[in-house]
Each structure stands twice: as structure tokens, then as C-alpha cells.
Amino acid sequence: MENEFAIEVVNQAIKVTMMLSAPMLIGALVVGVLVSIFQAVTQINEQTLSFIPKILVVIAALVIFSPWMMETMVSYTHDHFTSIPELIRR
């Protein structure tokens, strides 16, 4: 296995991982900031207040983006399985 091929595989894996995790992370980030602003404005210092909205947003993002996520994962896996003969030739 050449170094370039291994680097390409790792690069693709990191890129797909970031793409698949982005909807949940961005949603949780936005809700966390909004809840923090709400807590600062109302001076409510409850640590557990932000967990329920974040969990609901992550679940909603999973429900909304799951078809795209599955399509991306299947495409990525299919590409790797079809590249096995190329890997054997090297």
C-alpha cells in the first residue's frame, strides 16, 4: 500500500465523519448558545436546563438528516468495497 493511497483513505474517512456529524453538532451548538443567552438574560443558573433542548435538537437532526446520512455512508462504503481490487493490485 502506498502512502498516498493510505492518506487518501484516511482523508476521506475524516471528511465523511465530519459531514455526518455536522448537522447534530451545529444544531446542538446553536441551541446551547441560545439557551446560554436566555440564562444570562434571565439570570437562571441551572446547569441542566440546556440538556433537554440539545437532546431534542440532536434527535430531530437525526430524524431529518437520516436519509442523507445513510446515503452518504452507503456510498462511502460502496466506494471502498469497489476499490479493493485496486488495493490488491498495488
Average pLDDT rounded to a whole number, residues 24-46:
91
* Distance in angstroms (rounded) separating the CA atoms of residues 86 and 90: 7
Mean pLDDT of 10-27: 95
Using CA atoms, how far apart are residues 71 and 76, in angstroms rounded to an integer?
8
Q: What is the pTM of this model?
A: 0.78
CA distances 45 to 6, 36, 52, 56, 70, Å, are 48, 9, 15, 21, 39
CA distances to 29, 40, 42, 70 from 58, rounded to whole Å, are: 10, 23, 25, 16
For the segment 40-88, what is each residue's pLDDT rounded down to a tens digit?
898 888 888 889 999 999 999 999 999 999 999 999 999 989 988 877 7
Residue ranges of domains in the chain: 3-89
Supply the DSSP string of 35-56, one letter for each residue: HHHHHHHHT---GGGGHHHHHH
